[in-house]
Amino acid sequence: MSLEFLITTLIIVATPGTGALYTLACAISGGTRTAVIAAFGCTLGIIPHMAAAALGLAAVVATNPQIFEIIRLAGIAYLLWMAISLWRSDASGKDSTGVSADKAFGIIRKAVLINLLNPKLSLFFLAFLPQFIAPADPAPLLTMTALGLVFMAITFAVFAVYGVTASSLRSGLINRPGRMQLVNRLLAGGFILMAGKLALAQR
């Protein structure tokens, strides 16, 4: 595993996207534990795209415009729904930081869907991971899996840092509904921008 792969992965993961945005939103609304759960969910959402790239399913998405469009439109709709939910969310700042099993499952489910409904991720892994596999590698599938797992580990670590950092701002918002509402709407705007970016995406 090359240093180039690790540095490139860190740059890619650290660049804000829908997963990071969702983790930040969870951090602001629910605190550190909620943010870490969101980071874990976003990391789990990578698995289907890794598997698709490894098994050749990503190539099917790349060559079939109908499948790509269906997933892309579903992703756009989901991001817009997330934006509307944030825009209309409670701005009292009194959300409980407790995380029940049902709440944790809901956070993870939303995080996985955010990644799952982005067809560009499968194409990304299809194009990205093979660059770091030697042509003479005797077990390319195993190597791709290992690289994918490292990518996931870095994703979780970076998103968790984002979440823990953002949750430290929560104490300054919890008793200021106006500020909390402003932050929620800024995050909602971020989801709208991500939906627009996905709407302009090409195969």
Lowest mean pLDDT across 171-175, 179-183, 192-196, 197-201: 171-175
Owner of token pair 């996905």: 198
Cα 148–Cα 152–Cα 158 angle in degrees, nearest 5: 140
Residue 174 confidence class, pLDDT cut points 50, 70, 90: low
Give dist(CA 128, CA 33) in Å, integer.
Answer: 31
Give pLDDT tens digits for 61-90.
Answer: 666 777 777 777 887 888 888 888 877 776
pTM score of the predicted model: 0.80
pLDDT averaged over every residue in the chain: 81
192 contacts 81 by C-beta, under 8 angstroms: no
pLDDT at 173: 65
Q: What mean pLDDT comes out for the span 78-104?
A: 72
**What is the chain's Cα-based Rg?**
18
Residue 130 confidence class, pLDDT cut points 50, 70, 90: confident
Q: What mean pLDDT comes out for the span 132-141?
A: 81
Q: Is the pLDDT of residue 136 over 60?
A: yes
Long-range contacts formed by 175-178: CB under 8 A, 24+ apart: 175/93, 176/93, 177/91, 177/92, 177/93, 178/91
Q: Is the pLDDT of residue 169 over 60?
A: yes
Give dist(CA 40, CA 99) in Å, integer.
Answer: 14
